[in-house]
Amino acid sequence: MSDRPEPWVGKAVAVWVTGLLVYVLAVFHRSSLAVAGLAASERFDISASQLATFTMLQLLVYALMQIPVGLAVDRVGPRRVLLTGLSLMTLGQLLFAVAESYPLAVLARVLVGSGDAMVFICVLRLVVSWFPPRRVPLFTQLTGMLGQLGAIVAAAPMTWALGTLGWTRAYAVAAGLGLVVGLAAFLLVRDSPQGRAAPAGRLDVRDLGRGLAESWRHPGTRLGFWIHFSTPFSANVLSMLWGYPFFVRGEGRTSAEAGLLLTIMVVAVMAAGPVLGWLVGRHPWHRSTMVLTILAAIVTVWTVVLAWPGEAPFGVLVLLVVVTGVGGPASVIGFDIGRTSNPPQRQSSATGVINQAGFYATLLLVVVIGLVLDWRTPEGSAYTQEAFRWAMASQYVLWTVGIVQILRYRVRTRRVVDRAALQAGATA
């Protein structure tokens, strides 16, 4: 028997790598504002709350578009939707480069968020279409892990570009990257080894609603939803907004130490992805158990930090960011459960349903932490350790809801799987 790889393997890797480049670029565009906050405040003459609106609105648009995008991928195929998303991101970054007013800048970030919302679902669909089922969990985790390179590229290189080239040229160059990657995607990406997806028939809203309802009705989709809801929000909140002030004001760390802790968390996210992908591929019947174990570890380490008398030691905070970071790759397990719970024609719809959960949880927690900090902080004073402990303790509400729902729907999912197995045995 020949040991040579199947003829489709090279094409599959080429399609995946190209889709991955689009996803890296999407993460880069999503993160490019993080290093430009002060420059944006000066350019648009806006307050801190208006600056935060950029990120909040971009995330909200991303979450709201997940279901429509999933339906679109199921109907017209991932290639068209991927190219559409890339075009919107490129247009949004170009508009952001030339915008001089706050409303126009907000519109630009909405376009970026809209395009970003289309990418990850498409790449996951390409993985499912091009690789054998046993390889899908690994390549799904690799996609999520390597996509974080976009955030790294958005840090130092974008900082250098803003300082050297100026606002307009820096963001114009960022937009230009979309043209290069878009050409590669146009030439190399195909929906499946069989070629282009079959053209969709007449749009029937009732059929779309029926398909979406069927996806949601399956307990596996709901299990995936609550896994994605419960696992990533803690890491997201730390990396996107509250991590730096929590470590500096809440735990008395220097700016350098806070930055190091957030960097360690990104490294943990990237390192955990392939490991979890391998474990899921080897032990598909224990996916929800893996998630519950990770959640128990996250809750435990947060409890240690918040209950520590005074400021927690630096080593304990390192443990916190490492364990919390693993929650990001753990959320991807929800997509794998959705994939195995739905037929091919509903998989992207199910992915869209699942993918919005973590973003809604993150948005809710970002707002709640801010409200609690304001509640526990005297007017005109800086945030205190006590205020941060109250604020970060609000995570327990979301963890409780999520864990209860995971336990609930994994029982229902197993019942459906057992019933299907019995019916298949009877038919055989």
Spatial separation of the C-alpha atoms in residues 374 and 370, rounded to whole Å: 6
**Distance of alpha carbon 397 from its chain centroid, rounded?**
21
pLDDT for res 62: 85
Quote the CATH superfamily of domain 212-428: MFS general substrate transporter like domains (1.20.1250.20)
Rounded Cα–Cα distance for residues 333 and 376 (Å): 36
Percent of the chain whose predicted confidence (pLDDT) is above 90: 40
Same fold, 1-193 and 212-428: yes
Highest mean pLDDT among 31-35, 42-46, 323-327: 323-327
Least confident of 229-243, 289-303, 410-424: 410-424
Answer with the residue of higher pLDDT: 97 or 216: 97
Question: What CATH topology corresponds to 1-193?
Answer: Growth Hormone; Chain: A; (1.20.1250)
Q: Is the pLDDT of residue 43 over 60?
A: yes
Please determine, for residue 426, whether its predicted confidence score (pLDDT) is greater than 50.
no
Residues 6+ apart with CB under 8 A from 212: 67, 71, 349, 353
Q: How confident is the model at residue 175 (pLDDT cuts 50, 70, 90)?
A: very high
Instruction: Give the pLDDT confidence score for residue 2 in this predicted structure.
Output: 46
Give me the residue spans of the domains in the chain.
1-193, 212-428
What one-character-per-residue DSSP string does 162-195 give? HHHH-HHHHHHHHHHHHHHHHHHHHHH--SBTTB
Q: What is the mean pLDDT of residues 54-75?
A: 82
In whole angstroms, how far apart are CA 296 and each of 142, 323, 367, 392?
24, 10, 24, 16
Going by pLDDT thresholds of 50, 70 and 90, the confidence category of residue 92 is very high
Confidence at residue 1, expressed as pLDDT on a 0 to 100 scale:
43
Q: Transcribe 326-372 into DSSP letters.
A: HHHHHHHHHHHHHHHHS-GGGHHHHHHHHHHHHHHHHHHHHHHHHHH
> Residue 349: is its pLDDT beyond 90?
no
Q: What is the structure's pLDDT at 206?
A: 65
Mean pLDDT of 219-226: 93
In this model, does residue 300 exceed pLDDT 90?
yes
pLDDT given at position 196 = 63
CB-based contact 220:346 (threshold 8 Å): no
pLDDT averaged over every residue in the chain: 85
Contacts of 331 (CB under 8 A, 6+ apart): 227, 228, 231, 232, 358
